[in-house]
Structure 1
């Protein structure tokens, strides 16, 4: 009785390895975008938890926000991407961060990520 061998051929192994390699390449290119977004969200939550943040001026809030982002090595969020609105009548303020990141993938192909985050600044936020 003769047994047939089973398993991957060299060609099928190369195909599977190239598909996995392609997805790993894309993941390595896109991961820093999302890591920065989570740093922005973390900085916003940290600001919201600060006592007395709701009564501070927008310029002071932005300064504290960008100090937190500087620690995270965030490069894509600029002052024009941050907007702070007063909710009125002692309810605090709301911070909006809207920005776009463009990452070159290969040749003339880019990946574009649009990120938007919102955080109420009342000085009582919990993690």
Structure 2
């Protein structure tokens, strides 16, 4: 019986050098991806919050396009949102309401010549503010109806 115990303990030596190297490489790649992409998703979360906050404004229908953009700009400034989200705000007025759209694409270099492309499309339709922030309509078709 002692011989079987020694044999099974010799089989259980732990992970090899290559096993540890593989785990470290996979974790390193995952951390690199997270560190490069996380800021874009944090900004997208703030864009979502900005549109929801704007949708709760009772004077939204009476605001001009400039006032709407200024209100969003203040929210972005307070929450340190910069770059593409702030540049891609569109306000389209229609017969049934106003659509505020923030549709943008970010290209983030990951390593060497590999880039990650992230697309974000958030909309607030004043006719249906409870359905904020998923894109409900194609803005090009919305413009053609009016």
TM-score range, shorter-chain basis? 0.7 to 0.9
TM-score normalised to structure 1 length = 0.85
Aligned length: 124
1:43 deviates by: 0.4
Larger Rg: 2
Runs of 4+ off more than 3 Å: 124-127
Task: Say whether the 8 Å CA contact 1:49–1:126 is kept in structure 2.
Answer: no
Aligned to 2:86: 78
Task: Say whether the 8 Å CA contact 1:55–1:92 is kept in structure 2.
Answer: no
Where structure 2 has 5 or more consecutive residues not aligned to the other structure, the ranges are 133-146
1:126 deviates by: 9.1
1:10 deviates by: 2.1
What is the aligned counterpart of 1:21 among 15, 25, 28?
28
TM-score normalised to structure 2 length = 0.75
Kindly indicate which of the two structures has a greater share of residues assigned to helix: 2
- Structure scoring higher RCO (CA < 8 A, sep ≥ 6) equals 1
